[in-house]
């Protein structure tokens, strides 16, 4: 780890000020990606601004048609929230499959989506549920938020404050984990709401993406069989030691079918 | 033999809880990294980013300007001090009688780097952070060159070392060439297989670490290091590398958090730390991080083999011929040359009577990390080859795999194999029968049919393995090229109060010796294990010993201990007889009490030990005071643990995911000192064997020579949820060649399990070309290809 200045923000506005005054600052929420990166000397920020304890980023609110989760909520809190479990069981289940218990008790929703790791789980939920991402200055629809590999629509220093998830009629997330890292090789989140279906895939491409052909097929016939023959072209998919692009393409269909079946 | 004292709850055979665990699980262990010395500095190594490059120049100036940096030392500094290179301690000869071709292995590279992670320089600084900053600031001007990575084609590539034009360290052979050829000529069936034994990265929980110290007053060096065999380290560092005379160097291997073989070897880093300590006049500490461990620890396995089995019309094995390419990496590590030869070729008879066997092994240089012993060391490679081949033979002949094995089992002992082993005892039918019963072999078809209704492919696979432990008779291994004897030592010191200290040359790095060695003493003297302290791992305290590897500590280390205990008993009985005024052959020792049969008088163990040290009234035949004895035990033969593992898998054909549905291990380890610890050893070995079969593989990029699986993001370490609940049992035949009847249990799990798993996967998918590790992607692709 290279030396850096550690600064703990007491408020959102102080975090903004600290960020603005740093030479090469980084924001840290749960630190579950940043700290390993620092330890491997792969990042050398001038300042690490800790926003993990900000009250403004806390809270889980469930109303009739929506779940609003503070960006600073750790995964375990979403996993274990009785209200979230009741409103969107697929979301709490997804949170319970992220990393391991230590990661789930430190890593945050905001940190996960702001990083736009192509193998992270939460982006699939955001995209499939049609979530709205709130920052201190504006709201961004999930469809516009994840722009590329580790890239989002966030401006430099812009902080995710909360995420609103509309409550679907049914939803499920099924993940095929990388045997080594347990990140998603393919994770498919399927959600149905008022006749509309959204299918979001994480792990397989450079960023989370939707599969229009599956959505259309499921809107006319919400069953696993309806998408059994729909394959995502492998051309743009990731290929690595653990899964070639064609294997990933195959797994997308398999996981999507299983997610549809899990929706009940 | 074990005492007849049935009341001893801490003796041989008792499932005593491990004495050492409380300190380990409460964070009170004392590992090398826990030790700090006054005035200590930190070292960080500059490592090669290239698989192969010349070193044109090394510019230390920027590193020396980093705040806190004390010194930057490189290969030229080592050479100037006439420090020798690292050695390989087992001479292997090629077919033509020539010696193996060992390229120089400087502890810091002189003019060439030969694998990614090769050690180039050390930066020594006030803090670990400053040392790392300094290491990044060293400017090495490399002249990048093409790397030899692919094992299959390495013999046709440019040389890794000038000593070998074709990258062949040796071309070794063993067995009966002409008889084997003749066997193939009369064979009704020839079964052949091409097989790869995947490279593994050891991943001990505690990464390597070292602290080198030099005392200017006495001229003595001390090295704290993560070693499985501190005396061997001291011998090599003094006699071959030339750090210091043997009596001026103390090597301490304190608590060590796992080794699996990877901490047998004398590495560059510990060599450099102890040398540099004198250079900078301060202790030098280095602790490896995990990424560094992936690159620089010796790896394991990495074979490519072609094998053929000659079988008669009715299924008798007639002959076996094997050709293996063994990757030894860029340099020969301490015992690397012996692993694919005498620890591999000698086990190719398996549990079978095969009249003719001939094996050829080419040891190969590549631009990858050195490959040396890793849990099983040669024997997993042999078992995997034989057990895959036998399964294929059963398939090809339309025979039940269990029946074909039984038809060819060795049943008369001693049995001399064509590959120079003499199996002393065993009962291979017993372990196979028991394992088949435990897994309900007969009920498999019903389970397969039920799995099919759930869309799953179920398969069952057998492995009946044998291995050789108790390494080894010194004279025998000496004749085969070993540079050391492989006996073991023990000293038993009975204190005046009757408590006991054992100084053993064995080393515990997770095995539980503080418990099991104490159980032997408890059994011999009938005293509680709380009264016994096991001392190991410090050359200043313990007499010369050979350390722990090859599942040898029970069979060899405990034999030395048992013999030393017996010497103590002989003397103690003489003292007791003198005090009890009876003839010595009338004195018994039971439950810690010496008794005279005719008079019914007794003396407690502590009364006799006190008398030995008081020396007021010893037998008047010149008996010396004190009660301490030493024994050096050299085994007469290897020991031959054997057993049967049966694995049942279920495969999801849509994803290729393999789940182990059931796993049975029935092993014959001879006498068991502590069944709970032995079962733990089996579990751990199985985890590593299943890891090799389904998950783990060290992969280098074929062009760049970068280690692709250089972290846990890509190298799949087994996790609890990858592994089943094991069913473990034992069938016991006591080893006839050592005093306690022990065979050894440390490696069997990793030896027996990979072929059982892969045979099961092959059975499930109907394709026995599946390679290890049988990852989901590989299984899925295999199913696609056969569809």
Residue of B nearest to A242 (CA): B777
pLDDT of residue A61: 97
SS (H, E, C) B310-349: EECCCCCEEEEEEEEEEEEECCCCCCHHHCCCCCCHHHCC
| B295 φ, ψ (degrees, to nearest 5) | -80, -35
* Structure token pair of residue B527: 């005293």
* Distance (Å) from the alpha carbon of B493 to chain A's nearest alpha carbon: 47
**pLDDT band at residue A264 using 50, 70 and 90 as cut-offs:** confident
Q: Does the pLDDT of residue B2 top 50, yes or no? A: no
**pLDDT band at residue B5 using 50, 70 and 90 as cut-offs:** very low
| B338 in Cβ contact with B92 (< 8 Å) | yes
pLDDT of residue B767: 94
Q: Judging by beta carbons within 10 Å of its beta carbon (0-12, 13-18, 19+), is residue B149 exposed, middle or buried?
A: buried
* Distance (Å) from the alpha carbon of B470 to chain A's nearest alpha carbon: 35
Whether A243 sits inside 8 A of B717 (CB atoms) is no
Give chain A's domains with CATH numbers: 5-50 (3.30.43.10), 57-166 (3.30.465.10), 170-263 (3.30.390.50)
- Mean pLDDT score, B260-280: 98
* Distance (Å) from the alpha carbon of A60 to chain B's nearest alpha carbon: 31
- Token match 């609890």: residue? B720
- Token match 């004279």: residue? B475
* Structure token pair of residue A224: 């696993």
**pLDDT band at residue B7 using 50, 70 and 90 as cut-offs:** low
Whether B775 sits inside 8 A of A251 (CB atoms) is no
Q: Which residues of A touch B776 (CB under 8 A)?
A: 176, 179
Q: Does the pLDDT of residue B1 top 70, yes or no? A: no
Whether B714 sits inside 8 A of A181 (CB atoms) is yes
* Structure token pair of residue B193: 């297989």
Q: Which residues contact B202 (CB under 8 A, 6 or more apart)?
A: B259, B260, B261, B262, B297, B298, B299, B300, B374, B375
pLDDT of residue A234: 96
pLDDT of residue B4: 42
* Distance (Å) from the alpha carbon of B714 to chain A's nearest alpha carbon: 5
Residue to substitute from A179, A245, A251, A258, interface B, most B β-carbons within 10 A: A179
Residues of chain B above pLDDT 70, percent? 99
Among B residues 217-236, those touching chain A with beta carbons less than 8 Å apart:
none
ipTM: 0.96
Whether B777 sits inside 8 A of A41 (CB atoms) is no
- Mean pLDDT score, A177-203: 97
Residue of A nearest to B655 (CA): A251
**pLDDT band at residue A20 using 50, 70 and 90 as cut-offs:** very high
Q: CA quadruple B527, B530, B531, B534: dihedral positive or negative?
A: positive
Beta strands in A105-233 (DSSP E): 132-135, 139-141, 146-148, 151-152, 160-166, 170-177, 184-193, 196-202, 209-210
Q: Tell me which residue in A2, A242, A251 faces B655 most closely, judged by beta carbons.
A: A251
Q: pLDDT tens digit string along B449-507?
A: 999 999 999 999 999 999 999 998 999 999 999 998 999 999 999 999 999 999 999 99
Calculate the average pLDDT of chain B: 97
* Structure token pair of residue B299: 């790896």
- Mean pLDDT score, B584-599: 96
* 3-state secondary structure at position B248: helix
One DSSP character per residue, B691-717 reads IIIII----B-TTT--BSS-STTTS--
Q: pLDDT tens digit string along B321-364?
A: 999 999 999 999 999 999 999 999 999 999 999 999 999 999 99
Q: Which residues of B touch A242 (CB under 8 A)?
A: 714, 775, 777
Strand order in the sheet with A139-141: A60-62, A66-70, A160-166, A132-135, A139-141
Cross-strand pairs, A7? A49
HSE-up (13 A, CA, CB side) for residue B290: 13
* Distance (Å) from the alpha carbon of B718 to chain A's nearest alpha carbon: 8
Distances (CA, A) of B221 to A231, B78, B82, B224, B225: 67, 17, 17, 10, 13
Q: Which helix (H) or strand (E) holds A25?
A: strand A25-28
Q: Does the pLDDT of residue B781 top 50, yes or no? A: yes
Report the Cα B515 to chain-centroid distance in Å.
Answer: 20
Q: pLDDT tens digit string along B186-199?
A: 999 999 999 999 99
- Mean pLDDT score, B28-34: 97
* 3-state secondary structure at position B393: helix
Provide the b/e sequence for B701-721 (b: ≥16 CB within 10 Å): eeeebbbbbbeeebbbebeee
Residues of chain B above pLDDT 90, percent? 98
The alpha-helical segments, DSSP class H, found in B504-581 are 513-525, 558-580
Give chain B's domains with CATH numbers: 21-29+487-633 (3.30.365.10), 39-145+202-296 (3.90.1170.50), 424-481+637-787 (3.30.365.10)
Report the Cα A116 to chain-centroid distance in Å.
Answer: 7
Among A residues 7-66, those touching chain B with beta carbons less than 8 Å apart:
40-41
Residue of B nearest to A181 (CA): B713
Cross-strand pairs, B357? B320
* Structure token pair of residue B279: 């250079």
Q: Which residues contact B740 (CB under 8 A, 6 or more apart)?
A: B1, B2, B12, B520, B554, B558, B559, B562, B671, B673
Provide the b/e sequence for B43-75 (b: ≥16 CB within 10 Å): bbbbbbbbbbbebeebebeebeebebbbbbbbb
Angle subtended at Cα B702 by Cα B697 and Cα B706, rounded to the nearest 5 degrees: 70
CA distance A116 to A209: 12
Whether B655 sits inside 8 A of A40 (CB atoms) is no
Q: Which residues contact B50 (CB under 8 A, 6 or more apart)?
A: B113, B116, B142, B144, B145, B147, B705
Q: Does the pLDDT of residue B621 top 90, yes or no? A: no
Q: Is B655 on the interface with A (CB under 8 A)?
A: yes
Residue of A nearest to B780 (CA): A247
Q: Is B723 on the interface with A (CB under 8 A)?
A: no
* Structure token pair of residue B714: 């890509």
Q: Which residues of A touch B132 (CB under 8 A)?
A: 41
Q: Does the pLDDT of residue B3 top 50, yes or no? A: no
Q: pLDDT tens digit string along B535-574?
A: 999 999 999 999 999 999 999 999 999 999 999 999 999 9
């Amino acid at each position: 780890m290279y030396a850096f200045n550690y600064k703990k923000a007491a408020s959102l506005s102080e975090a903004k000020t600290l960020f603005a005054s740093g030479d090469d600052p980084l924001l840290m929420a749960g630190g579950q990606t940043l700290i390993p990166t620092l330890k491997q000397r792969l990042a050398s920020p001038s300042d690490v601004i800790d926003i993990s304890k900000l009250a403004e980023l806390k809270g889980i609110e469930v109303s009739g048609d929506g779940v609003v989760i503070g960006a600073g909520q750790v995964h375990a809190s979403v996993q274990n929230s009785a209200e979230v479990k009741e409103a969107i069981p697929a979301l709490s289940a997804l949170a319970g499959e992220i990393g391991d218990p230590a990661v789930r008790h430190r890593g945050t929703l905001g940190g996960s989506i702001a990083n736009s790791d192509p193998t992270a789980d939460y982006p699939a939920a955001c995209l499939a549920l049609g979530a709205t991402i709130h920052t201190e200055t504006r709201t961004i629809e999930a469809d516009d938020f994840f722009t590329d590999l580790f890239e989002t629509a966030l401006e430099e220093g812009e902080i995710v404050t909360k995420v609103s998830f509309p409550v679907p009629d049914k939803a499920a997330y099924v993940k095929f984990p990388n045997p080594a890292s347990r990140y998603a090789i393919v994770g498919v989140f399927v959600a149905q709401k008022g006749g509309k279906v959204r299918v979001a895939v994480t792990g397989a491409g450079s960023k989370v993406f939707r599969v229009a052909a599956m959505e259309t097929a499921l809107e006319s016939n919400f069953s696993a069989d309806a998408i059994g023959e729909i394959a995502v072209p492998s051309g743009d998919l990731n290929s690595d030691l653990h899964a070639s692009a064609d294997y990933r393409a195959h797994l997308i269909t398999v996981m999507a079918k299983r997610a549809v079946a899990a929706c009940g | 033999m074990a005492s007849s004292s049935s009341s001893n709850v801490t003796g041989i055979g008792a499932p005593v809880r491990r004495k050492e665990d409380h300190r380990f699980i409460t964070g009170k262990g004392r590992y090398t990294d826990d030790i700090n010395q006054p005035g200590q500095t930190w070292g960080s190594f500059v490592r090669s980013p290239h698989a192969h490059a010349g070193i044109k120049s090394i510019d230390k100036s920027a590193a020396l300007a980093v705040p806190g940096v004390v010194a930057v030392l490189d290969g030229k500094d080592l050479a100037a001090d006439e420090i020798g290179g690292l050695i390989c301690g087992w001479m292997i000869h090629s077919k033509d009688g020539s010696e193996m071709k060992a390229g120089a292995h400087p502890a810091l590279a002189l003019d060439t780097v030969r694998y990614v992670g090769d050690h180039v320089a050390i930066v020594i600084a006030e803090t670990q952070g400053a040392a790392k900053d300094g290491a990044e600031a060293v400017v090495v001007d490399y002249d990048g060159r093409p790397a030899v990575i692919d094992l299959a084609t390495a013999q046709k590539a440019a040389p890794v070392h000038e000593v070998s034009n074709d990258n062949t360290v040796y071309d070794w052979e063993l067995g009966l060439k002409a008889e084997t050829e003749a066997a193939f000529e009369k064979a009704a069936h020839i079964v052949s297989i091409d097989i790869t034994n995947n490279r593994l990265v050891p991943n001990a929980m505690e990464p390597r670490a070292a602290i080198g110290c030099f005392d200017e007053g006495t001229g003595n060096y001390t090295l704290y290091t993560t070693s499985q065999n501190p005396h061997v380290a001291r011998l090599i560092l003094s006699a071959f590398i030339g750090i210091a005379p043997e009596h001026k160097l103390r090597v301490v291997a304190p608590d060590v958090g796992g080794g699996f073989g990877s901490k047998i070897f004398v590495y560059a880093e510990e060599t450099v730390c102890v040398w540099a300590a004198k250079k900078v006049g301060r202790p030098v500490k280095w602790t490896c991080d995990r990424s560094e461990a992936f690159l620089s620890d010796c790896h394991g396995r990495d074979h490519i083999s072609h094998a053929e089995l000659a079988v008669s019309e009715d299924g008798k094995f007639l002959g076996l011929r094997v050709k293996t390419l063994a990757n030894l990496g860029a340099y020969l590590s301490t015992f690397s040359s012996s692993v694919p030869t005498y620890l591999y070729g000698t086990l190719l008879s398996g549990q079978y009577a095969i009249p003719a066997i001939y094996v050829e092994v080419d040891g190969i240089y590549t631009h990858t990390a050195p490959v040396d012993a890793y849990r099983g060391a040669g024997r997993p490679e042999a078992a995997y080859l034989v057990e895959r081949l036998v399964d294929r033979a059963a398939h090809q002949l339309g025979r039940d795999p269990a029946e074909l094995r039984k038809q060819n089992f060795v049943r008369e002992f001693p049995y001399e194999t064509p590959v120079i082993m003499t199996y002393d005892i065993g009962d291979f039918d017993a372990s196979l029968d028991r394992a088949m019963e435990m897994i309900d072999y007969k009920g498999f078809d019903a389970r397969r049919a039920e799995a099919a209704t759930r869309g799953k492919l179920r398969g069952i696979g057998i492995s009946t393995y044998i291995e050789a432990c108790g390494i080894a008779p010194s004279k025998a291994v000496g004749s085969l090229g070993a540079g050391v004897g492989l006996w073991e030592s023990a000293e038993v010191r009975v204190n005046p109060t009757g408590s006991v200290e054992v100084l053993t040359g064995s080393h515990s790095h997770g095995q539980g010796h503080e418990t099991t060695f104490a159980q032997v003493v408890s059994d011999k003297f009938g005293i509680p294990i709380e009264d016994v302290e096991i001392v190991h791992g410090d050359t200043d305290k313990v007499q010369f010993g050979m350390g722990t590897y090859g599942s040898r500590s029970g069979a060899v280390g405990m034999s030395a201990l048992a013999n030393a205990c017996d010497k103590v008993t002989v003397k103690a009985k003489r003292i007791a007889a003198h005090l009890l005024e009876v003839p010595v052959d009338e004195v018994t020792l039971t439950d810690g009490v010496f008794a005279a049969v005719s008079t019914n008088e007794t003396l407690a163990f502590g009364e006799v030990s006190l008398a030995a040290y008081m020396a007021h009234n010893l037998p008047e035949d010149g008996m010396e005071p004190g009660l301490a004895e030493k024994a050096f035990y050299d085994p007469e033969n290897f020991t031959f643990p054997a057993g049967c593992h049966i694995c049942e898998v279920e495969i999801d054909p849509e994803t290729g995911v393999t789940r182990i549905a059931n796993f049975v291990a029935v092993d014959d380890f001879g006498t068991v000192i502590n069944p709970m610890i032995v079962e733990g050893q089996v579990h751990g070995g199985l985890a590593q064997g299943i890891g090799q079969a389904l998950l783990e593989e060290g992969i280098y990029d074929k062009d760049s020579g970068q280690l692709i699986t250089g972290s846990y993001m890509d190298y799949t370490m087994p996790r609890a949820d990858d592994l089943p609940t094991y069913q473990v049992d034992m069938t016991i035949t006591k080893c006839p060649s050592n005093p306690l009847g022990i065979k050894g249990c440390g490696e069997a799990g990793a030896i027996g399990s990979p072929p059982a798993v892969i045979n099961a996967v092959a059975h499930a998918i109907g394709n026995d070309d599946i390679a290890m590790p049988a990852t989901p992607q590989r299984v899925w692709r295999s199913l696609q290809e056969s569809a």
